[in-house]
Amino acid sequence: QVQLVESGGGVVQPGRSLRLSCAASGFTFSSYGMHWVRQAPGKGLEWVAVIWYDGSHKYYTDSVKGRSTISRDNSKNTLYLQMNSLRAEDTAVYYCARDLSQGYSYAFDYWGQGTLVTVSS
């Protein structure tokens, strides 16, 4: 069965960096686009970034553009999100989610359980 397991969250000081990982299993990882979506405590969903199945296209929401990098290692079935210059407003549960297609569907049929990132001094 499809599984997405995020890791790498924790408490980090403002201005520092963090790398999130999402280990995928149960499907051909290299055939699907992957996204990161976050949810601040008690708030709604916010899309963060997408990477196409082959890594050829990457897009970001404005609030993380220039500070974050989405990447993938298809040989390791793993998705990453490198976040730099973290701010308090980056505090959220970060979900990885599978695109219905190679990356251009922007609908997410499987989600991980999420990993909490808390930015605080």
Partner 1 sequence: QSALTQPASVSGSPGQSITISCTGTSSDVGGYIYVSWYQQHPGKAPKLMIYDVSNRPSGVSNRFSGSKSGNTASLTISGLQAEDEADYYCSSYTSSNTLVFGGGTKLTVL
| Interacting residues toward partner 1 by CB under 8 A | 35, 37, 44-47, 50, 57, 59-62, 95, 100, 105-109, 111-114
Measured from the CB of residue 16, what is the shortest distance to partner 1 in angstroms? 26
Identity of the residue, 13 or 117, whose beta carbon is nearer to partner 1 in the bound complex:
117
Contact 20, 83 (CB under 8 A): yes
Measured from the CB of residue 89, what is the shortest distance to partner 1 in angstroms? 15
Identity of the residue, 19 or 43, whose beta carbon is nearer to partner 1 in the bound complex:
43
* CA dihedral over 72, 113, 48, 103, signed as positive or negative: positive
Q: How far apart are CA 99 and CA 34, in angstroms?
A: 5
Measured from the CB of residue 63, what is the shortest distance to partner 1 in angstroms? 8
Identity of the residue, 8 or 114, whose beta carbon is nearer to partner 1 in the bound complex:
114
